[in-house]
Amino acid sequence: MPRFENLEFGDPEPQRKVAAAPQRDPLHDEHYWMKQADDERRGGCYENALRYYSRALEMDRSIIAAWVGQVRMLIAMGEFPEAEVWSRKANDLFHNNPELIAARAHALVRCGDLSKAQPLCDAAIVGVGKDAYPWIVRGECMLAGRDSMEQHCFDKARQLSPDWLVRLEIADSYVFFRRIAKALSLLREAVELAPDRAHLWYRQGICEREMRLETAARRSLQRCCELAPRHLEARRNLEQMDRRGWWPRMVLRRLFSRE
């Protein structure tokens, strides 16, 4: 029996709650789930990617990339207030991490709170290493503030990472702020880099459809269906394009279309 077990020295240090270690399968560790999440994200399955990021965090809560990934998936799915809440929590856990700060700024921009987003974006840029994400967020901040210099930030992001995913994310920002033509040019670049990605063809098709480039949109969506025969959204869009009636709006669109 220890001699000093019952002595009182003020408030004892609060006992930290420690998670029960999950059954660790050596093949399915956090790195495995992170890779799965990344694959799903590249395939445009953001819901699945979010789930895999959570699985990775269940294994190891200190993986910052997974926290950032969660926030980015929430943003990609349009759940901006939730992304803001989650990024705030992540920032509370990991102080001064540039990627997490950038993620919070990203969520804030999408929520429309540019006043809070801008200082955070600046802070993220100060601490940034070779990651493109803070530059994308900064570009988006400028886009939201109707600043014409956003192109420089996006160019910087593209320089830092030649990955097609960066182009897709920049295109996402442009689409969100209804600059479809710019988004389309980036998507075309991304398609050139990764022509075997169905999701890229789908996104390109959607942008072309938005710009009333019907033939090009049909070609892109059909290519998407060839690469991924189960891509329901692409099929639905193709069916919608086939259902061309004679409503005045459609007639006007046809008259003033660019083809």
Partner 1 sequence: MQCASCHFENMPGTTVCGRCGTSTTLATDLMDVHPPRARPAIKRLRRLSKGRPVLRWPATLHFHRAAPAWRNPPGMRRFDWGVFWRLAAPGWAHFHTGQARRGRLFLWIYLALLLGGMLSIGTFLQPLLLGLAFSVHASAVIDIILPRLGPANRGPRIVFAAVCSLILFLALYLPAGWLVTRVGSPLRIQQDSPPFSAGDAVLVNRWAFLASAPSRGQVVLYGLPEWRTETGDPGGHGRRIYAFYGERIDRIIALPNDRVRIDGARLFINDQPSDILPLNPANMPRQFSMTIPPDHYFILPSGSPPPIADEGWRIMASVPRDQIHGVAYLRTPVWRLLIIR
Site map 122..141 versus partner 1, x via CB under 8 A: x-------------------
DSSP letter for 258, please: -
Torsion angle, CA of 82/87/88/91, rounded to 10 degrees?
A: 170
Q: Does 54 bind partner 1 (CB under 8 A)?
A: yes
Q: How far apart are CA 181 and CA 234, in angstroms?
A: 20
Location of structure tokens 């349009």? 78
162 touches partner 1 by CB under 8 A: no
Task: Count CA within 13 A, CB hemisphere, residue 75.
Answer: 27
Residue 159 in the binding site for partner 1 (CB under 8 A):
no
Residue nearer to partner 1 on the CB measure, 96 or 215: 96
CB-based contacts of 49, cutoff 8 Å, min separation 6: 37, 38, 40, 41, 69, 73
Q: Are 63 and 34 in contact (CB under 8 A)?
A: yes
Among 28, 62, 192, 195, binds partner 1 (CB under 8 A): 62
Nearer to partner 1, 103 or 191 (CB): 103
According to CB under 8 A, which one of 37, 49, 57, 75 is a site residue for partner 1? Answer: 57
DSSP state of 37: H
Applying CB under 8 A, does 170 fall inside the site for partner 1?
A: no
CA 172 to each of CA 17, 18, 39, 203, 248: distance values in angstroms, whole numbers, following the listed order: 40, 39, 18, 9, 31
Please state, in angstroms and rounded to a whole number, the distance separating the CA atoms of residues 259 and 257: 6
Number of shown-chain residues binding partner 1 (CB under 8 A): 48
Q: How far is the CB of 7 from partner 1 (least distance, A)?
A: 22
> If binding is defined by CB under 8 A, does position 114 make contact with partner 1?
yes
Positive or negative: CA dihedral 150, 157, 34, 59:
negative
The yes or no reply on residue 112 touching partner 1 (CB under 8 A) is yes
**Choices 113-121, 167-175, 226-234, 236-244 (CB under 8 A): range interacting with partner 1:** 113-121
What minimum distance in Å lies between the beta carbon of 69 and partner 1? 11
Using the minimum distance from each CB to partner 1, give the nearer residue, 62 or 159.
62
Q: Which residues bind partner 1 (CB under 8 A)?
A: 16-19, 21, 50, 54, 57-58, 60-64, 70-71, 74, 78-83, 85-86, 93-97, 109-115, 118-119, 122, 142, 144-147, 176-178
